[in-house]
Structure formats: C-alpha cells, structure tokens
Amino acid sequence: MRTRLDVSAEVRSALESGKPVVALESTIISHGFPYPANVECAVTAEQVAREHGAVPATIAIIGGVVRVGLGRDDIEHLATAPGIAKASRRDIATLVARGSDGATTVAGTMLIASLAGIRVFATGGIGGVHRGGAESMDISADLTELASTPVTVVCAGAKSVLDLRLTLEYLETHGVPVLGYRTDEFPAFYTRTSGLGVDARVETPQEVAEIMRVREELGVAGGMVVANPIPREHEIPHEEIDGVIDRALAEAAKSGVRGKDVTPFLLARIHALTSGRSETANKELVYHNVELASQIASAMCDAPR
C-alpha cells in the first residue's frame, strides 16, 4: 500500500497532527473545464480551502501512483496532457498496474480519500441516475460509493442533466442521508431549488460534524451528502437552464453519446449554449462547497473524540 499510495508531506503532517483536511477531485481538471480555466479552478479551490483553515488534498493517479495532495506541476499535467482517463473505483487498480494517469471522479476520490484517512470531500455536483435510467440502468458509481465509503461529500446537489428524483430515491434506498445546508430543497447544481426535499436541514458546520461523529460512534456504514446551494448571485434560473439542458440532451442522443462520455459532452454543450455563464456558475459553486467543506473539517477536528 505504501508504494501505491503517495500522501504528500503537507497532507500527511496535517492528518497526523489532527488538522482539517479536505479532499478535492481531479476530473474537474482533466474533464471539467478547458485550459486554462481548469488550472484556475483547481488552484483557486485549494486557495479557498487554505483561507478557511483546511489543508487541500487534490487526488489523482499519476504514472501509476495514487497521489493525495498535488503540486502545481501535477495540476498543469492533468490539465494539458492528452488522454487522461476518468478514474472511478473500477478503474483505479488497472491504471495503477499499467503505470497510467487518471483523474479521479467523485467515486474514485471518495475511495482514495477514505484510504488516506480523509473524511470530508468537496466537489461541484455528484453523479446520479441519468434521465431514462429506469430503462437504461445508467447510474453513476458515485451513488454506490456513497452507500459504502465513510466520506461526507459537500456538493451543489446533483448535476442538472440527471433525473434528480430517481437520484434521491436511489440514495434513500441505499441509506445515504442527504442534508440540506440552510435549505429544505435539494439544489439542482446551477439552480438553488429542484422542488425536491432533503432528508434533514442543517444550519451550521458544527451540526454536520456532530452527525458525522455520531455515525462513526454507531458504526453506520457509508457516507453523507451535504447539499449546499449555489450562491444566489451566480444562479442560472430554471426558466433559462432547463431549456438549454433539454437541447443538450437532444444533441447527445442524436450524436449517439453514451456512458461516461455523456456528462462531459453535456457540460461542454451547456457551456456553449450559455455563452460561458455555466462555467462561471460551476466554478463559483465549487469554491462555495470547498469553503463549507473546510468549515466542516475544522469542526470535526474540534469535536470531542
């Protein structure tokens, strides 16, 4: 394990001394934004974590080594190198065995964060059940990872291109709590509301940390979702984004895009159809989630053990 899992000196020191650490994914670097916006987002997200008292631990697979905590050169590599694979749970061992590179998804990041001892993870939005998923069974591995891996994921809900109702049903079936941070509704990524409820509303990072602590004490398996709505000033209203998403979905179907290629295709088309507004919204909700995750991680470190 020690030769396969490389935890940076900064992250290792923070974990050993009980300081707050927040995991960050790397698919957002390799597959989420074009260059140089991807580097800007990754670097700024790490800066936001530091500004709010946490050590950032961006996770990826580089040259067959699972890396927890990246340097600037690593981020530039992930942002510019061609053919970086998306690394979910199923892909990690293959990429490591082959000495390959991989940008970790939500599921992949959760698994590696847990192996490293990190309990809080900030991302943009989780994956979920795709529209038509009741027939296609196209369901993100993020959901099954949440059911089994003890990491709390702070997100702006699930990506708007998904079937949010079925996504919440799936999480309920698998016993994953969905907490709304200062909201009674599950946010829909670009928009603050979806018309769908959460399992419980929480008002402070300390309240989230207490729920995490009680779950650990009781031995409850799996993770939690903390749904943190996009800041109001960066929201794209339903009446605008819903039509854009429908058009992007129709284009994906016409082009025969399937499986793991669907989400990157849709995000790229939404970016084009909103003249870049979706990219700004995406970045801002990521930073907002990193801020809250850092506060939760700090509250976990302050909680009695």
Pairwise pLDDT comparison (33 vs 147), residue with the higher score: 147
Do 52 and 132 form a contact (C-beta atoms < 8 A)?
no
Q: Give pLDDT, residue 160.
A: 81
Retrieve residue 146's tokens: 């949440």
Residue 304 has pLDDT above 60, yes or no: no
Residue 31 has pLDDT above 60, yes or no: yes
Q: Give pLDDT, residue 161.
A: 82
Q: Give pLDDT, residue 2.
A: 55
At 159, the pLDDT band (50, 70, 90 cuts) reads confident
State how far the Cα of 44 lies from the Cα of 245, in Å rounded to an integer.
Answer: 27
At 186, the pLDDT band (50, 70, 90 cuts) reads very high
Pairwise pLDDT comparison (289 vs 135), residue with the higher score: 289
Rounded average pLDDT over 3-28:
96
Retrieve residue 293's tokens: 């995750």
Q: Which of 140, 198, 136, 131 is nearest to 163 (CA)?
A: 131
Percent of the chain at pLDDT above 70?
98
Residue 42 has pLDDT above 60, yes or no: yes
Residue 8 CB contacts under 8 Å (≥ 6 apart), including other chains: 57, 67, 68, 69, 70, 71
Retrieve residue 163's tokens: 């079937």
Catalytic residue among 46, 86, 145, 159: 159
At 303, the pLDDT band (50, 70, 90 cuts) reads low
Q: Is 159 a catalytic residue?
A: yes
pTM above 0.75, yes or no: yes
Q: Which of 286, 292, 304 is nearest to 29 (CA)?
A: 286
pLDDT per residue as tens digits for the range 98-157: 999 999 999 999 999 999 999 999 999 999 998 787 777 788 999 999 999 999 999 999
Q: Return the CATH class of domain 5-235+283-302.
A: alpha beta
Retrieve residue 298's tokens: 């700090």
Could you give the C-alpha distances from 238 to 189, 243, 264, 297, in angstroms and in order?
Answer: 11, 8, 21, 32
State how far the Cα of 90 lies from the Cα of 71, in Å rounded to an integer.
Answer: 26
Q: Give residue limits of the domains in the chain.
A: 5-235+283-302
Q: Is 251 a catalytic residue?
A: no
pLDDT per residue as tens digits for the range 235-264: 999 889 989 988 988 998 889 887 767 777
Chain-centroid distance of CA 114 in Å reads 14
- CB neighbourhood size of 33 (10 A): 22
Do 87 and 108 form a contact (C-beta atoms < 8 A)?
yes
Farthest CA pair distance, the chain: 55
